[in-house]
Structure 1
């Protein structure tokens, strides 16, 4: 057994090189992993090489952090090592480039395994030297020092059993325990497993924060508590509900509706997993697989296919510090992918910042190694502090707590979305159970940089759908919290909502033709999304194709054109949503809300176009009105009611016809004067078949491009964005 040694003066001891080294972030990771190799895997120092050159002399300075031989004798005889280890500083994101680097080192020295490691991630790969590169596959583990040849061969043949599969299967097993023991339908069983997961994540969060001394999410604890209280799981659930009180995802009197033996059986299955220590990739993918299997197969809930989500998020490219909202968030797909992409960008920026700093230090010949190590450690600590998700106002904290917002009117979907985000690494704080047409928490008009949504289709907002007191009411402490957080814009938004109590929801919008008329939800969501955007904000929305071509909906299209620049319309194939049981053909609308200056310019041109068109027909209309009004007056004098009504109808028809003509011509003139190109694309393959199977995908760069496609829709749009003239025909 060996232990980590520090001299307290900025140096760390290398047991293999038998000397003190300056403790850089990279050196710290390397020496800490050596402790694991020796103490946990049983390797001795004499069979490990550290900082070993893995290129021919004169061809570069590439060095492996560790080479590990089967035995000390094989190392001394210069035989091929068994394992290559490549370590990276904790602030460095390990990615495909690192895997390729490890593979190249293993290829050069003939090693059968390579490891990539830092405290964010450790992965193990086997290398097949009989194949051309890429010739490596991820496996479960490296062999221990005392592994036999047979054990090594078994390990090589055992490709990694993805933990997300294991966890997804476990969630499904718990779901089935509830269904079978409690005889609940799939939807009700899902609601109960969701409550249990919220309890578990809450307990883990309190453990991390030091608010509880031991893990109370165990079957043993629940059985102990059953002796002194009637319903221990609901005691824990009451604490959980308090934590999510402001989000309104649980009803005040809601309970876990499961018998104690059922709860204990589920907790026993889940307690061995520490979700806090499980990577976001694993638990996030697992939860989504569980959702897909449960909702599609048993509950029949509608989800936006992942390739469509990926394309829409990449298209709008949300950035750090931008505020993003989905007012019909469903399972949270758009919010989760936004969170992941922005997080990846932050980590990449942190990597680049550290690498740039290190390179400048390396180039400065006046700084000695001790000072360089000190400066690198300080820079590393500074970067890590900015990435610390628990530190208020850090980059990651802002992303998790002040950037992502969503709401869903369906209680089950709001819970699902929030839990899905927790599983993917957080950002759940802005997700609420609430009517998406109404302001809540940080979701109010003029606030968002990006809106991404797939609103519900087909249903209508009826005149009888009123704004209720219950939808507006907040506890005083919650109201105060939000007022302090969001300031006057929030107070004004709340004021508008409070004033609307008792009025129809439709009365809050312009698109409904009257308060007494019903309107399709997808149409109202278009206006809601535009309202939520700040000037210059960007929107991506899934819409039924009728919105784009139905003559009766021209007023909807003009409503959008009057407030935003259309960026692109992407037509999706009929079968895109077939796996969810939806047969409607859809398109994606991307638009950018006018800035204040653009809106002012547009309104001026619109008014001028209308005035010019009015003037063009003014004399003609006056003459015809005078003629018809004279006929009406004559009919009145002659008391010829039938003739008067006929002429009055003729006048009304004429005025209606001329109004339509003027509106059409002034709109055409407006479009001519406020002219810009719009990207149109009709996709045939979008990554999913009508039955939900993976398919070729032409939407964005991926490894399943359809035959004949060289540039994807996203790549073509980026070219169009840079220079649309090359697309003109």
Structure 2
């Protein structure tokens, strides 16, 4: 655990500025504004909406489909009749010369607003290119939101037909295997390709079922859950064949198969998520077959946490973000706070306003990483454990997830979505409850009261709902909190609670929830050791009318760090200026000292001038002094197919990309360095 700086008994706060560190990735150069380095060639190309789609597919061809980068070429010229055209990406036979006669797969990528039926840039363009390349066997057309794959067949009359297939084959894979993948064929999602797939599925359901967006979302989640549970089985049954996708009557068999999986593997296992009314997948058979074909090639369990998180939370956010001040915390802000808190495997973690679980999953995975590292250090071979060693790792991991990870949220739809998110990240989600965190704990359901009593939590991560439009005005709720009382300041500047003639605190008529959440979170923490990171509106930190809140806070908690976040953190959607505040709950002796003489300790403070995106939500990149985009290099471990032996091998590759203009990782690094210096 990262211990707090020492405190003494004088109220003088030493403000230590954050000296931002260099990024953990290695700077390797720059790229002019409006350009991007091509993944396959490293050459600079124009940064356009179409290029964004192409770069994602290039990464997928190498990382997911396992084709060698040297066998792929972007913007490859071919002859079509008497004219010359450029194919967006061509995959050639292994080790063959890059010639039109050796082209094996053609890929056409378009920006999102180009329709598949477009007269010159739609599917017809791809098929004309495939016809012009004698030995091409497969093709893909995609704009990100739509994707179509084709196999070229001879019609026996000197011409070609194009059969729509579910997916193009990966390296060394047969067409049959690509249409019904076996476990060994499942692909780890890369870049934004899983996001594209989720979006395609959601849009298809909404377009073909006539459902409201939220209804379509829940049906999609049923299928995602079924996919995850099927991956845990010995045999893969989450699939749909090309005939099931193409023929409405045949699709009935696909829906029956998936419905049985959902009923037997999902509903029975997760009764707290799926009630009796949820036992049926309420989609047409043809829609089920389409969605299944979009997901069946991925391994959702093996895909990186952030890839799944970005895909899942975008879909959740567009459907479930409510009107109670709910704005989900960006992943980079979650990572910064969790890195600074450094939760350990023996510590109990809680998010009392967990939303879809992003903050909680980040903290959970941080602690799980500690467990895995400590276990592997004891293995005879740290890279390959014995059955007994792996079993012990699984036991420790399962024990931690079941006993130390908790979340609460008032919105039942968000709790349900959070449970699904936890399962997608390999956790059973048993520690999540729908409850009003701010009401009297005696009103909580018994298992929540038993497992999460006040004063029992080591680490809290929270972004509570905030805003004057959702005031807390219930007297029974307000009566629990000192911060719900009316406070008076005397001429000497001292604050006291106003009391009636019976000595009871005079309550305010209402209080915004974010103020009460501060007090409730401190109540939940273990005295003296419990620490938390909370997103707090800056008005609480600098509004003169809320000085009593600050007076109360510095007498109940040690402020460890204040990071002033950029105004665009929650954009698009909310431009409230916020700070990430880290604090530790004081014990009774420290509170007495704080009340009598004040405490003296240093506080880490930083201003995050960039958080990786602008007010429209678009990614922004770091610039050099000359105004060009900065490039960075990092090492990434990928699974590839050895083209001589056919075996899967792990290989480290150096990836060069534009550096996102995000100071939050640097703030976390600077805080940890500063914290070590305080000791």
Q: Does the residue aligned with 1:712 lie in a helix, a strand or coil?
A: helix
1:405/1:430 contact within 8 Å kept: yes
CA offsets, 1:387-443, max 9 Å, x none? Answer: 22xxxxx22212332222212222232222222222233253323333333545333
1:295 corresponds to which of 317, 322, 329: 317
Corresponding position of 1:424: 425
Q: What does residue range 212-251 of structure 1 map to in structure 2 within 5 Å?
A: 215=237, 233=259, 236-237=262-263, 240-245=266-271, 247=272, 249-250=273-274
1:178/1:262 contact within 8 Å kept: no
2:238/2:292 contact within 8 Å kept: no
Cα RMSD after superposing both structures: 4.8
Q: Is 1:691 matched up with 2:616?
A: yes
Q: CA deviation at 1:559?
A: 2.8
Q: Does the residue aligned with 2:355 lie in a helix, a strand or coil?
A: coil
Corresponding position of 2:511: 519
Corresponding position of 2:346: 321
Corresponding position of 2:643: none
Aligned-partner Cα distance in 2 for 1:697–1:556 = 37
Higher relative contact order (CA 8 A, sep 6+): 2
Aligned-partner Cα distance in 2 for 1:586–1:553 = 15
Corresponding position of 2:566: 573
Aligned-partner Cα distance in 2 for 1:544–1:334 = 17
Aligned-partner Cα distance in 2 for 1:295–1:416 = 10
CA offsets, 1:43-66, max 9 Å, x none? Answer: xxxxxxxxxxxxxxxxxxxxxxxx
1:686/1:697 contact within 8 Å kept: no
Query: Structure 1 447/244 Cα, relative in aligned 2: closer, same or farther at 3 Å?
Result: farther
Q: Does the residue aligned with 1:587 lie in a helix, a strand or coil?
A: strand
2:222/2:281 contact within 8 Å kept: no
Query: Structure 1 533/696 Cα, relative in aligned 2: closer, same or farther at 3 Å?
Result: farther
1:504/1:515 contact within 8 Å kept: no
Query: Structure 1 585/604 Cα, relative in aligned 2: closer, same or farther at 3 Å?
Result: closer
Q: CA deviation at 1:604?
A: 4.9
Corresponding position of 2:9: none
Q: CA deviation at 1:590?
A: 0.4
Report how many residues are paired. 454
CA offsets, 1:498-557, max 9 Å, x none? Answer: xxxxx8333443332256732211111112211221220110000110111122222322
Corresponding position of 2:163: none
Q: CA deviation at 1:706?
A: 6.2
Corresponding position of 1:409: 410
Give the TM-score taking structure 1 as reference length.
0.53
1:568/1:678 contact within 8 Å kept: yes
Q: CA deviation at 1:226?
A: 7.5
Q: Does the residue aligned with 1:448 lie in a helix, a strand or coil?
A: coil
2:345/2:367 contact within 8 Å kept: yes
Q: Is 1:435 matched up with 2:458?
A: no
Q: Does the residue aligned with 2:560 lie in a helix, a strand or coil?
A: strand
Q: What does residue range 178-577 of structure 1 map to in structure 2 within 5 Å?
A: 178-202=205-229, 204-205=231-232, 207=233, 215=237, 233=259, 236-237=262-263, 240-245=266-271, 247=272, 249-250=273-274, 253-254=277-278, 258-261=282-285, 264-266=288-290, 268-269=292-293, 272-273=296-297, 275=299, 278-281=301-304, 285-286=307-308, 288-292=310-314, 295-296=317-318, 302-354=327-379, 380-388=386-394, 394-426=395-427, 428-437=429-438, 439=444, 441=448, 442-458=451-467, 459-464=469-474, 504-513=476-485, 517-535=509-527, 536-577=529-570
1:322/1:403 contact within 8 Å kept: yes
Q: Does the residue aligned with 1:280 lie in a helix, a strand or coil?
A: coil
1:457/1:522 contact within 8 Å kept: yes
Q: Is 1:171 matched up with 2:172?
A: no
1:714 corresponds to which of 655, 668, 671: 668
Q: CA deviation at 1:316?
A: 0.7
1:168/1:287 contact within 8 Å kept: no
Corresponding position of 1:40: none
Higher strand share: 2
Q: Does the residue aligned with 1:687 lie in a helix, a strand or coil?
A: coil
1:234/1:255 contact within 8 Å kept: no
1:191/1:412 contact within 8 Å kept: no
2:407/2:433 contact within 8 Å kept: yes
Gaps of 5+ in 1: 1-95, 98-120, 129-139, 360-375, 389-393, 465-502, 610-669
Q: What does residue range 577-616 of structure 1 map to in structure 2 within 5 Å?
A: 577-579=570-572, 581-594=573-586, 596=587, 599-604=588-593, 606=595, 609=596
Query: Structure 1 552/244 Cα, relative in aligned 2: closer, same or farther at 3 Å?
Result: farther
Corresponding position of 1:676: 601
1:463/1:515 contact within 8 Å kept: no
Aligned-partner Cα distance in 1 for 2:204–2:230 = 22
Q: CA deviation at 1:182?
A: 2.3
The structure number with the bigger radius of gyration is: 1
CA offsets, 1:371-395, max 9 Å, x none? Answer: xxxxx99x7344322222xxxxx22
Q: Does the residue aligned with 1:312 lie in a helix, a strand or coil?
A: helix
Query: Structure 1 203/380 Cα, relative in aligned 2: closer, same or farther at 3 Å?
Result: closer
